[in-house]
Amino acid sequence: MRLVVPLQGVVQGRGGLIFGSLIPCALFYFLQLYLKRHRSPNSQSNPPSPSASTQNLAEMSRTSSRSNLLSRGSIGPVRISSLATSICKPNESPYYIGLDKASEDPYDRIGNPDGVIQLGLSENRLCFDLIEKWMLENLNDSIRGREGGDLSISGIASYQPLDGTMELKMAMAGFLSRIMGGAVSFEPSQIVLTAGATPAIETLCFCLADHGNAFLVPTPYYPGFDRDMRWRTGVELIPVHCRSTDNFVLSISALDQAFNQTRKHGTKIRGILLSNPANPVGNLLSREMLCDLLDFAREKNIHIISDEIFAGSIYGNEEFVSIADVVDSEDFDKSRVHIVYGLSKDLSLPGFRVGMIYSFNENVLAAARKLTRFSSISAPTQRLLVSMLSDTRFIEEYMVTNKKRIRNMRDLFVAGLEGLGIRCADSSAGLYCWADMSKLIPSYGEKGELELWDKLLNVAKINMTPGSACHCIEPGWFRCCFTTLDKEDIPVVMERIRKVADTRTSRS
C-alpha cells in the first residue's frame, strides 16, 4: 500500500493535487454528511430533555413523555437482533424439515403403520434394554448416594463446578480410554464438560476463532455444524470437498487448495474441523492421515478440532485411532489439538445432554471452563452418570453388545439396499449408511436429489438426509440412520424405497 501524503501536490508543486487534497477533502465531506444524517433521528427523539434538578424529575419526565407519545404517531415494532431475525423463521433445510415431519407423524408398527419412518435423526435405540435394566437396578443408589439412607442432597441441589464435577470427569476419562481399547489415557483435568456435544463444539469455536474467521471442514459433514459453528460465533465454514472415487477420504491437497483460496479472499483460517469416525460416511482417518493433518496444521499454524463422538460405535475391523493417541505417540505440538466427545451416540443417551471438550491447550481450557456457565450439566444427571460409567461390568457388556447390534443392523440394512441396487460407501463406524441413490434421481443435480428426497418423505414416508444438507458435492447421496429401527422395520423401509424406485424406472 502506497501512502498518499495529503497536500503534497500543493506543497511540492508537482501533480498529485487530486490524490493529496481533493480526494481526502471529498471523503471528509461525505463523512460529515453521513454522520449528520445518522445523528438527526436521535436528536428528534429527545425533545423532553431533562434539565431540572434530579429530585423532582421522576414525575416530570413521565408526564411529559406520555403527552409526547400521544402527539407523535406510534413507533414501529421493537427491533430484535439480526441473529434472531435470521433464525426465527421456520427451518428451510431439508434436514430439519424432515426431522419435523417425522416427529409430527412418527411411524409405529402397530399404532401408526402409515407414519413417517425416521432415518434422519442420529439416535441409537438398539441397546435401550440394557440401559433400562441398569437404571432400574441402580437409579436409587446413584442419585441418593451409595449409603442409601443419608441422601447427600447438597451434592445435587447446590452449586456444582460449572464445568462438571471431578468425579464425572474421572469417570469420563476412564470410559473414553476403555472405548479406545486402552490405547490412550485421558487426563481428567484436561476435560471440560458441557450440556451436550453441540455446546462443546460451539464453545471451542468461540475459543479458537473470532468473528469472520473460518474453519476448514471436509464434506460431506454433519448438517448441524452450520448451526453449531456459525450462528452465534459469526465464524465461517469452508467446505473441503471429498469425492466418492476416494470413498470420501480427505486429501491434504484438497485442504491446501481450500486454504489458499480462502486466504486469497482475505479470510483468516483458524482451524480444521474433523469428524473421526466421519459423519455421515462412517469411515475412519488413518494414523498416517492424522499425522499429515497435524503437519498441515503446524505448517499453517492452525488448530484441529476432532469430533470423535462415534469413537465407541465402531463395528468394522478397522482400528480406530484417536488424534489424542497420535499426539501422544509422536512429537507433535499438542496445544493445537482439541477433541469433542459426548455420550449421545456411544452410550445412546442424547436426552442426558452430556458433551465434553478435551484439549491440550491451557488457555483454551481456561476459557472453555468459564464459558460452561452457559451450558452446564444438571447435577442429578452427573451423579447418575458417575455411577453408570464407573460400573465397569455394565460398560463392558454394553460396549460389546452395542457393537454387535450395530453391526447386525448395518449388515441387514446394507443388504436390503443392495437388493434394490443401491450401493453404500464403505464404512466401519457410526450409526449411518451413506447410500448412493444417484440412479434414482430424476436429474443429476441438487434439484434432482431434493426431488427424490421429497418423494421419499411425502410418498414413501421415509425421512432421510439428502447429501446436499451435508454439503456433499456429488448429488444423489443419502444418509440413513439405521439404529432407530427394529429389525422388523427393515423390510418395510426397503419396500417403501422400492416403490419410489419403481415409479422412477417405470417412467423412464
Partner 1 sequence: MTQTRYYPTRSPEPEKEKTGGGGGGGGGTAMRVIVPLQGVVQGRGGLVLGSIIPCALFYFLQFYLKRNRDDPDDQNESSSPPQNPTTPSPSSEQLTELPALTRSLSRPLLSPRNPSGPIPISGRVSGIVKGAESPYYIGLRRIKEDPYDELDNPNGVIQLGLAENKLSLDLVKDWLAEHANEAILGNGKELSICGIATYQPFDGLMELKVAVAGFMSQVIEKAVTFNPSQIVLTAGATPAIEILSFCLADTGNAFLVPTPCYPGFDRDLKWRTGVEIIHVPCRSADNFNLSITALDISFNQAKKRGLKVRGIIISNPSNPVGNILSRETLYSLLDFAREKNIHIVSNEIFAGSTHGNEEFVSMAEIIEPEDIDRKRVHIVYGLSEDLCLPGFRVGVIYSLNEDVLAAAKKLTRFSAISAPTQRLLISMLSDSRFVQTFIRANRERLQRMYVQFVAGLEKMGIKSIRSGGGFYCWADMSGLISSYSERGEVELWDRLLNIGKVNVTPGSCCHCIEPGWFRFCVAILTEKDIPVVMDRIQKVLKPAN
Catalytic residue positions, numbered: 222, 307, 309, 345
Give 360's contacts (C-beta < 8 A, 6+ positions apart).
190, 327, 334, 335, 337, 338
For position 112 contacting partner 1 by CB under 8 A, the verdict is no
Considering beta carbons, is residue 35 or 459 the nearer one to partner 1?
A: 35
For position 166 contacting partner 1 by CB under 8 A, the verdict is no
Considering beta carbons, is residue 30 or 443 the nearer one to partner 1?
A: 30
SS (H, E, C) 110-179: CCECCCEEECCCCCCCCCHHHHHHHHHHHHHHHHHCCCCCCCCCHHHHCCCCCCCCHHHHHHHHHHHHHH
Considering beta carbons, is residue 107 or 206 the nearer one to partner 1?
A: 206
In this structure, which amino acid lies at residue 347? L
- The grid cell for 66 is 406520555
For position 381 contacting partner 1 by CB under 8 A, the verdict is yes
For position 71 contacting partner 1 by CB under 8 A, the verdict is no
Rounded to the nearest whole angstrom, what is the least distance from the CB of residue 183 to partner 1 in the complex? 22
Cα separation, 217 vs 212, in Å, equals 16
Burial of 108 (C-beta count, 10 Å sphere; 0-12/13-18/19+): exposed
For position 120 contacting partner 1 by CB under 8 A, the verdict is no
Which segment (117-125, 387-395, 448-456, 461-469) binds partner 1 by CB under 8 A?
A: 117-125
Contact with partner 1 (CB under 8 A) among 288, 319, 396, 411? 288
Torsion angle, alpha carbons of 330, 334, 336, 338, to 10: 100
For position 289 contacting partner 1 by CB under 8 A, the verdict is yes
**Integer angstrom CA distances of residue 25 from 9, 10, 465:** 14, 14, 57
Cα separation, 61 vs 68, in Å, equals 10
Which segment (174-182, 252-260, 321-329, 399-407) binds partner 1 by CB under 8 A?
A: 252-260
Q: Is the dihedral of CA 484, 486, 487, 492 positive or negative?
A: negative
Binding mask 2-21 for partner 1 (x = CB under 8 A): -xxxxx------------xx
Residues 170-209 that bind partner 1 (CB under 8 A): 195-196, 198-199, 202, 206-209
Cα separation, 150 vs 442, in Å, equals 66
Q: What angle do CA 197, 349, 434 make, to 5 degrees?
A: 70
Residues 20-59 that bind partner 1 (CB under 8 A): 20-29, 32-33, 35-36, 39-40, 42-47, 49-50, 54, 57-58
Size of the site for partner 1 (CB under 8 A): 147
Cα separation, 378 vs 385, in Å, equals 11
Considering beta carbons, is residue 69 or 459 the nearer one to partner 1?
A: 69
Rounded to the nearest whole angstrom, what is the least distance from the CB of residue 445 to partner 1 in the complex? 19
For position 128 contacting partner 1 by CB under 8 A, the verdict is yes
Beta strand 423-424 pairing with 355-359: unpaired
Considering beta carbons, is residue 24 or 419 the nearer one to partner 1?
A: 24
Rounded to the nearest whole angstrom, what is the least distance from the CB of residue 452 to partner 1 in the complex? 26
CA 397 to chain centre: 30
Neighbours of 184 (CB within 10 A): 19
Contact with partner 1 (CB under 8 A) among 62, 146, 404, 487? 62
Rounded to the nearest whole angstrom, what is the least distance from the CB of residue 213 to partner 1 in the complex? 7
For position 95 contacting partner 1 by CB under 8 A, the verdict is no
Considering beta carbons, is residue 354 or 460 the nearer one to partner 1?
A: 354
Beta pairing partners, 477: 436
Cα separation, 333 vs 405, in Å, equals 38
Contact with partner 1 (CB under 8 A) among 270, 405, 455, 461? 270
Which segment (315-323, 369-377, 389-397, 485-493) binds partner 1 by CB under 8 A?
A: 369-377
For position 268 contacting partner 1 by CB under 8 A, the verdict is yes
- Grid cell 413523555 is found at 65
Considering beta carbons, is residue 157 or 459 the nearer one to partner 1?
A: 157
For position 329 contacting partner 1 by CB under 8 A, the verdict is no
For position 143 contacting partner 1 by CB under 8 A, the verdict is yes
